[in-house]
Amino acid sequence: MKKRIWRLVLISHFLIFPLSHFLFSQDVNQLVAEGNKLIKEKKYDEAVKVLFEAKKLDEKSPLPDISLGMMFLQKNSLWEAETHLKSAEKLSPELNGVQYTLALLYEKKGEKENAVNYWNKLAKNPDFKEIAKRHLLFLGGEK
């Protein structure tokens, strides 16, 4: 009897935990989509509330920080944009879209060395190779 109960506990743990993570991820995706819609409508204060709610729901998802970073970049709040984009990068360092946005951010901030570092990373990716080369040529940092 005890063995059966433990089996049920283990089975339910392995079935329910991934399902609950999936449900949270789905909620996060919906909130991020809602936040992005609000950003397009220039309802920034509402977007921030929604995106921070998404961050609380799944602290491991880079999506809310990416949206916040893009919004603050759009608003020319460069420090806030960098804070959120670096947070997203820490969560998912392989996301090329974050590296691309950070490269643009550092260009805008006039931080040539940081921009060149990100463009050099992106130059190794076939999807970003050409645009990275153009930016590196512009910045005089092609390797």
Q: What is the pLDDT of residues 114-135, one digit of tens each?
A: 999 999 999 999 999 999 999 9
> H-type helices in 41-140, by residue range?
44-57, 63-74, 78-91, 96-109, 112-123, 129-139
Q: Which residue has the tokens 């602290």?
A: 59
pLDDT at 143: 57
pLDDT at 27: 86
Q: Which residues of the chain have pLDDT under 70?
A: 1-26, 141-143
Alpha-carbon span 129 to 40, nearest angstrom: 29
pLDDT at 134: 95
pLDDT at 64: 95
pLDDT at 25: 60
pLDDT at 121: 94
pTM, two decimals, is 0.76
pLDDT at 142: 63
| Residue 2: C-alpha distances to residues 12, 71, 95 (Å) | 15, 54, 46
